[in-house]
Structure 1
Amino acid sequence: MIGKINLVGTWELQLDEEKTGLQEPFNDTIALPGTTSHARKGKRNQSVNVDCLTDEYAFEGWAWFSRKFDIPAGLAGAGVKLYLERTRVTTVWIDGDELGTRNSLSAPHLYELEKPLTEGRHTITVRVDNTSYPTKGGHMTSRDTQTNWNGITGRLELQFYGTAFLEDVRTYPNVPDRSVTVKAKLVGASTGTVSVSAVCANGVSRHEAVARTYDVSGGDFELCYPLGEEALLWSEWSPNLYNLKLELQQNDVTTDIHESTFGLRSFRAEGSSFTINGAKTFLRGKHDGLIFPLTGFAPTTVEEWLQVLNTAKSYGINHYRFHTACPPEAAFEAADLLGIYMEPELPFWGTVTDETYDNHNEEEQQYLIEEGYRILKAFGNHPSFVMMSLGNELWGSKERIDGILKDYKAFDSRPLYTQGSNNFQFVPVILEHEDFYCGVRFSRDRLIRGSYAMCDAPQGHVQLGPQGTLTDYDDAILPQPGMGIIGIASGQSGTIQIQYGTEAKIVEADAAVGQLIPHIPVVSHEIGQYQTYPDFNEIAKYTGPLKARNFEVFKQRLEEKGLDHLAEKYHAASGQLAVDSYKEELEAAFRTKQLAGFQLLDLQDFSGQGTALVGVLDAFMESKGLVSPEEWRTFCSDAVLLARFAKYNYKANESFEASIQLRYLRPEPLVGFKLEWALAAGEAHLASGEAIASAHFSGDYVDIGRISFSMPDVRTMTKVSLQLRIAGTDIRKSYDLWIYPDGIEADDSGLNLFGALTAEAVALLEKGERVLIMPHPAELENAIEGTYCVDFWCYPMFRSISESMNKPVPVGTMGLLIDMDHSLFKLFPSEMHSTEPWRQIVENSVSIIMDGTDRDLQPMVQTIDNFERNHKLGMVFECKVGAGSLLVCAVDAEQAGQTIEGRQFLHSLYQYAKSEDFKPHATLELSRLRELLR
């Protein structure tokens, strides 16, 4: 390139919603780069989206942009290309001459002018259409994520070239011989000379390779440039980048200079693991749908992406999977600088067909295939671009999908390829030409994550109860000899009903035969999805074109139920349970030796698809105040301590045993490290010890040893912490455990205890007596069943999907809100949120729907409902009825009494009911009580 003209600035604008054509003169202006929505152009959108954010100035149709520019004498007559970094479907005119149309959603639009531009003033007109896509576009165009914006973002420029120049420059690093192969095309000349130099200066060390000169021929050429034995490698730990300069000369005159960056790295799939430059790594990934609420489109500056990726890195993330999306170049540049492994994905979520399918759509599929080549050409030189996926949850022709993979690998062998993310769902396959597998199961029962929607049941171990930290997925990935063929999928050929996006879909499926045994690295897909209640303080943060009108609706619903005073407590309590669930989810992944990585859904909230507030960060990638990055990294980093024990609840003097392990993924050996452990109650250490072990290589799975001790002889229920630390490092971990006095019995003698609101119970209340009612959960109609874990993804979306599939509807609750200072918990001390002592109790309970009761009738144990229903749900509550005092507990006492924690709860409940502390303040009419307990 010999020069360029920047077209950033003020353009004339005309919105053409009906696509009638350009009507001059233009009637508005806009600053580009930008979008019509971000510039607040057009009609204000009055609609209220409840399932996603609302684009206040949503516009779909043709948008016409035009401006004048000047060509200086020095560039007149030179070859010229128009570069539009990121846009929709564009058609371009210069001085009234049409240049054609481009429709890539994922790569820059490049127009090559057939004739040079003369000196002086010219006019460029660009029509952008955000309706006529060859494909639906996945999260590149979805209103659930970055919106279906209209405009042009990123670089807008005219690029000028001499008579001879370099094109399609691609770099292929060779780690073993410390060199880089450069493939390019010489245009406009039959021969030339290329001078090559490379400098690495962004890391701790600096390295400059010896410059060399090569004779090249016209058309495609290839050269191998040695960097020297001292060349620096690129990885997540040392992201060393080389600035590569190619200078083309003709007869000792420079006609073109091409500059780019590359990293000397080898990212490979070796057995069940990924390696970077020969060292094992473990992918700690996050899903990304390009959600940027302040703009409604993905940023195109390195500075903005550095802020986003640095935040993710502070939470231990080293990998990004872009759901049906490809980010702009600045994202790859920032990832290059930080050492983050990137996986773009074709903008497709559907069925790949061939001529055997009735719904064969060759035009769309050819577009998607070409889109893949465009992504590879545009971003393939980035060392962070290490993986590529063909789409999300694809179905259809396995032969066609595998053929696409084969062709991509022949074109560009640098990234690793997968057929897609969670393809074929209940009947997964591994294709010949894919390098790694990304999914959620290997059959219906061979699960490799901890949570699932009800329509994808069986649910995962985090939802059904870990009861300790022993779960891993090794046997699900590689069934052991003698286990037999387990968990065959649905078993029928023909059709199968699946969840597809926000709907249900009937697809073709082959019958599952035998067991699918992976021989390539396995990545667990979209793990987590633990929802938190909305933080309505977030509404004020939406100062851009996207408005949180869904949050406003949720807030109004809560106010209408008279529960708005509990909003912040709902958020905090559900959020803490979600964090605890994520901890077990992530640790189960780290415990699995056969797993090569995971992809969270998500570290941040997902703004659409029903509004899925599944992040510990909000949609702005900012903290919700639930967990610090430092604490999160204790179970999500390149060195994770793991204690594996059977349960969380213990009797006094009971033996505790745990196997202590270290998943070590750092490049520096950790030889002869000292593990320090302690059982602590506050500042007091009740037991402690040390162990010595070594981690020699990245990827080591170190069995440090077993620890055992007797729990202290406590007289009251006591929460303790098992604390682990490797001396002299940042590697630590803690687990909460609970100890109960031995011999505790739930003594209900002396109580007026009833299983229903009987005539006798009413008579006692009328006489001013104290009454405890513990109705059997199965006999209550006006109630929601008890479940410990927070709701998966979000209730409205999966309620709808389950109903359409005739599957069980999710319970939809989000943990407990506990009045922890209440006297009820004098003998059963609790947090504000659900903790493991409550798991078995909750699973044997219901919560009574108390809608319409007075605000001062606040349950001591309240179940948090989802933002669609917003029921007031009481598991334990008290009130005055007539002259008497009533305590209601909707727990199955017989089942709860089977565990030590259940007996302790019942003991605390009964003792409270007998005590002078039992003095309810709220009142309830008898007729209303009958309705509640029907």
Structure 2
Amino acid sequence: MTGKINLSGLWELSLEPLGCETAEVYNDSMTLPGTTSCAGKGEPNTKQETGFLTDAYKFEGTARFRRKVNFKGLSGKRLMLCLERTRITELFVDGESLGVQDSLIAPHCYDISRFSENGEHEIVIAVSNVGYKTGGGHLTSQDTQSNWCGITGYMRIEICDQSRISGIRIYTSTENRTVKVRGNFENELPPNIGCAGICTVESVNTPVKQTLPGFEFEIIGSSFEFTLPLGENAYLWSDETPYLYRMTLTADNDTYTALFGLRDFRAEGNSFTLNGRTVILRGKHDGMIFPLTGYAPTDVDSWMRVMSIAREWGFNHYRFHTCCPPDAAFEAADRLGIIMEPQLPFWGTIREPGEEGYNKAEQDFLIEEGFRMIDCFGNHPSFCMMSMGNELWGSQKELNKILHGYKKYDRRRLYTQGSNNFQWFPSVLDEDDFFVGVRLAGDRLIRGSYAQCDAPLGHVQTEKPSTRHDYDSAVVPVTSEHKNAEGNGTVQIQYGTGVKTVEAAAADADFIPKVPIITHEIGQYETYPDFDEIKKYTGPLKARNFEVFRRRLEKAGLLPLAKDYFLCSGKLAVQCYKEELEAVFRSEKIAGFQLLDLQDFSGQGTALVGMLDAFMDSKGLIAPEEWRCFCNDAVVLARFDCYCLEAGAEFSAEVELCWTRSRTADMRTVVCTLSGEDFAESAEFTVKGSGTHFSLGQFTASLPKVTKVTRLRLSLEVRGTDVRNSYELTLFPRIEQVALDKARIFRSVNAEAKALLDAGKTVLIIPETEGKEGYIDGFYCTDFWCYPMFRSISQSMGKPVPVGTMGLLIDRNHPALAGFPGEKWSTPQWYDIVSNSRSEILDGKSEGKRVIVRTIDNFERNHDLALMYEYDESNGKVVVLNCELDSLTDSPEGRAFAASVIEYVSR
């Protein structure tokens, strides 16, 4: 390219809504790049969507943009009109159509060279956001960046002489420290006539600046290939050290420039290696959610911001859900050392020709879209992985064929059939380089949480909090007594926000992948909305869902609790995420994870699962440096049975280290300390040998014989590094037996209880709740993803609906809990209590009742839920506890809670 004409600026506008056949009327204008929604064009949208953000100017149809452009002085030049990031476009020059292009990821480039004669020309660009050949996944979804209409990237006419460099492929060798370049040279010379080109290379961000002398290469005919030595001191690109070089190619007045990096990303056995070093992928899901605009940015600075935040939180990997980001995202990832995995924009079924439902146009489009993805972004060192889509079904033979085609075309990255394909019936195809899924058989689970419709649930949802769990026995079972998933028929599955029936083959209970395993979309722990966030939505997408949720809560009389609901549900989500992530780092046979998500997800019912909001701003639930204690390239861990301990007992924990840094862990010292008020015990452990997972030994301590509930902290650190971790433990006094008979306990306020109340006494009511309406089952973990979406899916499938609660809000200063002190949110000491409870629905009957322990309901149902409350009656007081006390006597925390309640009501 020798020059360009920037087409950004004001364009005349004609809108043709879907279904409205109207003549072109250019009675408006808008600035491009941009979208009709951002420009406030079209009819205002008054809807109040609750499942996703509301587009204030939602437009579906065709937008025509018209402008005059002067080509003066360009006679005889080659001109290409290029549009980055748009929808389906048709280009008209002087009223003549130059064709239609429909890629959702690649620039649309039209050859307009025959119009290069001097003079003014009329250009019309018709952009349609309807009629896609495929659903488009998160590229066009109202759940993510919206189905915008417009052009969001560069708009320009690229000018070059009749000679043009194109199709550049850069291949690097870390072993030889060389770069091989292949390319095309479009010209009018005879095939046997050659010319010379010049290649220059300089480092961009290396500790020592490197500039190579110009390298002359020969061009014969329409292509060229050469190999350039970079020297034995050339720097490598990695997630630790993302060193980059800039290459400039010049030939016959045309110039091409690209960034590149030397890297070797491989799948070796069950692990990924980057330049020979084992890496664990610490990935986040990304659906390209940008609430201020409703579309993904195309400038590097915007991507540097969000990706730098992800790096600050310990992530080194991005998985793009059914979408591919623009070039700027890859450049930001290049600079920050992020391993990228874009996906084809597909979430459906791949079929073979001749099969019922086969859609040739759609599948051909998707396959071509994949080749365009490779051509456009393939030189970026961050483009290490590629996936065919999300939760695909259909023909494994056809998927394998598509993979084979891509790998034959370009082997510079690793490929996989998709994320969580065939769900209950996983397999590894011959062409798969790695596997992404949530289970390896019906009960061989490799993440900590699941939707109720996908039960069995995960260990974070069903087990008492501990740090024992890992996935190694699920990957390689000790026995083969695992359940096959039924197949050879049809099965109902979750499909997006709905349900789909698919054909399924029987799953192999003994399926053991021989490739690296990534655990798919782990986490999904929901937090309550922060209504203060509403004011941040100043762009075309409005948080009317939040406004509806706020009004619902206000109608329920619970709006004053909103901030506490947000904080307490969020603190519980932090606990769940910590265990979810540490389970991966304890697992030697898991190669990485893809979290859903570090940030909130704006759609699919409104899934507020992030530690950051949708803008990638912190929600204040945990600091990034604390998060990195259990999400980083080195994590020190302790395995123990329970967070709740008994005075005078022996505490034991196995000390472990997961280490993937380039500097060896050998001979480093890990310090482990258990400390509390007037108590501390420490031990040191030495790391020996090489590898990524180290079991360092047993830490033991004799616990003091305290007479009151005491907080302990188990701290670990790798001396001389930033690697540390900690666990908050609770030490309870030894209680041999709880004197339940001290209290006046009844099932209801009967005559005997009423007489006591008349006498000014306090009575304890423990209702019989089993099987009775008006109560919600106790569930310690916060809700999965979001209640309205999975409630609907479970009902559609005829399966149990999720409990849907989000932890506790505790009146920690209430005298009933004087012997059971803690936080105002759920902590492990409440697990047994919650699991043996059924919270009462107090809707419309809460007047006069003082809730001591409140259960937080979700934003759809908004029940006023109480695990424990009290009210005055006659001359006395009634305390209602919706938990059987005698079910708590097997644990020190259960006995402490029971004793505290008995002491209060027995006064």
Per the normalisation by structure 2, the TM-score is: 0.98
Query: Residue 518 of structure 2 corresponds to which residue in structure 1?
Result: 523
Secondary structure of the 1:888 match is: strand
Contact 1:54 1:548 (C-alpha < 8 Å) held by counterparts: yes
Q: Which residue of the partner structure matches residue 923 of structure 1?
A: none
| Equivalent runs, 1:272-351 vs 2, <5 Å | 272-351=270-349
Contact 2:292 2:539 in 1 (8 A): yes
What is the rounded CA distance, in whole Å, between the counterparts of 2:350 and 2:605 in structure 1?
A: 27
Aligned to 2:752: 760
In structure 2, what is the equivalent of residue 112 of structure 1? Answer: 111
What do residues 53-93 of structure 1 show as CA deviations (whole Å, max 9, x unaligned)? Answer: 100011000101011222231x3220111110000000001
Match of 1:202 in 2: 205
Deviation readout 1:587-626 (Å, 9 max, x if unpaired): 0000000000000000000000000000010000001110
Tell me the secondary structure at the aligned position of residue 553 of structure 1.
Answer: helix
Distance 1:91 1:291 in 2: 27
Structure 1 counterpart of 2:26: 26
SS state at 1:551 partner: helix
Does the 8 Å contact 2:247/2:260 carry over to 1? Answer: yes
Match of 2:870 among 866, 878, 892: 878
**Contact 1:777–1:892, Cα closer than 8 Å, also in 2:** no
1:887 correspondence with 2:882: no
> Quick check: 510-519 or 331-340, which moved more?
510-519
Question: Partners of 1:356 and 1:494 in 2: how far apart?
Answer: 19
Superposition deviation, residue 25 in structure 1 = 5.0
The match for 1:93 is: 92
What residue in structure 1 maps to residue 56 of structure 2? 56
Q: Secondary structure of the residue that 1:746 maps to in structure 2?
A: coil
Give distance in 2, aligned partners of 1:341 and 1:858: 52
Secondary structure, aligned partner of 2:740: coil
Query: In the alignment, which of 464, 480, 486 is matched to residue 482 of structure 2?
Result: 486
1:344/1:387 contact within 8 Å kept: yes
SS for the counterpart of 1:520 is coil
Q: Which amino acid aligns with 1:673?
A: R
Match of 1:909, SS state, is helix
Task: Name the CA distance, whole Å, in 2 between partners of 1:755 and 1:244.
Answer: 80
* Structure 1 residues 162-241: aligned runs within 5 Å: 162-188=161-187, 189=189, 190=191, 191-241=194-244
> Which string of whole-angstrom CA distances, capped at 9 and with x for unpartnered residues, describes residues 460-481 of structure 1?
000012442110000111123x
* Counterparts of residues 470-549 of structure 1 (less than 5 Å): 470-480=468-478, 483-490=479-486, 492-549=487-544
1:705 aligns with 2:693: no
Amino acid at match of 2:332: A
Report the equivalent of 1:778. Answer: 770
Give the SS at the match of 1:342. Answer: strand
Q: 1:855 to 1:269 in 2, by over 3 A?
A: farther
Give the CA deviation at 1:21: 6.5
Q: What displacement does 1:563 show?
A: 0.4
Residues 24/402 of structure 1: CA separation in 2 closer, same or farther (3 Å cut): closer
CA distance in 2, matches of 1:37, 1:328: 20
CA contact (8 A) 1:563 1:855 kept: no
For residue 461 of structure 1, the aligned residue among 459, 462, 486 is: 459
Report SS of the residue matched to 1:433: coil
| Cα distance, 1:732 vs structure 2 | 0.6
Count of residues in correspondence between the two structures? 903
Query: Distance between the aligned counterparts of 1:24 and 1:50, measured in 2?
Result: 35
| Counterpart secondary structure, 1:571 | helix
Give the gaps of 5 or more residues in structure 1: 249-253, 916-934
Q: Indicate whether 1:679 and 2:671 are aligned.
A: no
Q: Distance in 1 between matches of 2:85 and 2:771?
A: 60
Deviation at 1:750, TM superposition (A): 3.3
**1:256 counterpart = 2:250:** no
Correspondence for 1:844: 836
Question: 1:372 corresponds to which residue?
Answer: 370
- For the Cα contact (< 8 Å) 1:776–1:891, is it kept in 2? no
Distance in 1 between residues matched to 2:736 and 2:535, nearest whole Å: 50
SS of alignment partner, residue 496 of structure 1: strand
The match for 2:687 among 671, 690, 693 is: 693
Q: Select the residue among 802, 806, 809 that pairs with 2:794.
A: 802
Deviation at 1:766, TM superposition (A): 4.0
The answer to whether the 8 A contact 2:480-2:510 is kept is no
1:245 pairs with 2:240: no
RMSD: 1.4
- Amino acid of the residue matched to residue 15 of structure 1? L
Distance in structure 2 (CA, Å) of the matches to 1:853 and 1:511 = 51
Distance 1:525 1:269 in 2: 17
Asked if structure 1 preserves the Cα contact closer than 8 Å seen for 2:265 and 2:384, the reply is: yes
Cα 1:79–1:656 change in 2 (3 A) is same
Deviation at 1:768, TM superposition (A): 3.5
Cα offset, 1:835, TM superposition: 0.6
- The offset of 1:648, in angstroms, is 1.5
What is the letter of the counterpart of residue 129 of structure 2? N
Q: Kindly provide the amino acid, as one letter, of the partner of residue 449 in structure 1.
A: R
Query: 1:473-872 to 2 correspondence within 5 Å?
Result: 473-480=471-478, 483-490=479-486, 492-681=487-676, 684-694=678-688, 696=690, 700-778=692-770, 780-854=772-846, 857-872=849-864
Shift of residue 163, structure 1, vs aligned partner: 1.7
Does the CA-based 8 Å contact 1:79-1:116 persist in structure 2? no
CA contact (8 A) 1:744 1:907 kept: no
After the TM superposition, which of the residue ranges 200-209 and 850-859 deviates more from structure 2?
A: 850-859
Contact 1:14 1:22 in 2 (8 A): no
Instruction: Note if contact 1:288-1:320 (Cα within 8 Å) is conserved in structure 2.
Output: yes
| Deviation of 1:640 (Å) | 0.4
Q: Distance in 1 between matches of 2:715 and 2:35?
A: 51
In 1, Cα distance between the equivalents of 2:22 and 2:658? 62
Q: Is the 8 A contact 2:69 2:122 kept in 1?
A: yes
User: How far apart are the structure 1 equivalents of 2:64 and 2:172?
Assistant: 43
Shift of 1:152: 0.2
Could you tell me which amino acid in structure 2 is paired with residue 893 of structure 1? L
Deviation, 1:688, is 1.7
Paired AA for residue 488 in structure 1: N
Counterpart CA distance in 2 for 1:196 and 1:877 is: 77
Give the whole-Å Cα distance in 2 for the aligned partners of 1:748 and 1:671: 55
- Name the stretch that deviates more: 186-195 or 759-768: 759-768
Structure 1 residue 155 and structure 2 residue 154: aligned? Answer: yes
**Which has the higher mean CA deviation after the structures are superposed, 756-765 or 498-507?**
756-765
2:892 paired residue among 900, 917, 924: 900
Question: Deviation at 1:685?
Answer: 4.4
From 411, 417, 428, the equivalent of 2:415 is 417
SS of residue in 2 equivalent to 1:690: strand
Q: Which amino acid aligns with 2:30?
A: I
Q: What percent identity do the matched residue pairs reach? A: 50
Corresponding residue of 1:72: 72
1:76-117 Cα deviation digits (max 9, x unpaired): 220111110000000001122211100011111111225141
SS, match of residue 99 in structure 2 = strand
Q: CA deviation at 1:208?
A: 2.1
Retained in 1: the 8 A contact 2:77–2:113? no
Aligned to 2:436: 438
Q: Distance in 1 between matches of 2:813 and 2:755?
A: 31
**1:251 is matched with which residue?**
none
Of 466-475 and 519-528, more deviation after overlay is shown by 466-475
The 8 Å contact of residues 664 and 695 in structure 1, kept in 2 or not, is answered as no
Q: What SS does structure 1 have at the residue aligned with 2:441?
A: coil
Q: Shift in Å at residue 856 of structure 1?
A: 5.8
Residue 781 of structure 1 deviates from its aligned partner by: 2.3
- Return the alpha-carbon distance in structure 2 between the equivalents of residues 302 and 423 of structure 1: 32
- Structure 1 residue 874, shift from structure 2 partner: 0.5
* Cα displacement (A) at 1:775: 1.7
Match of 1:7 in 2: 7
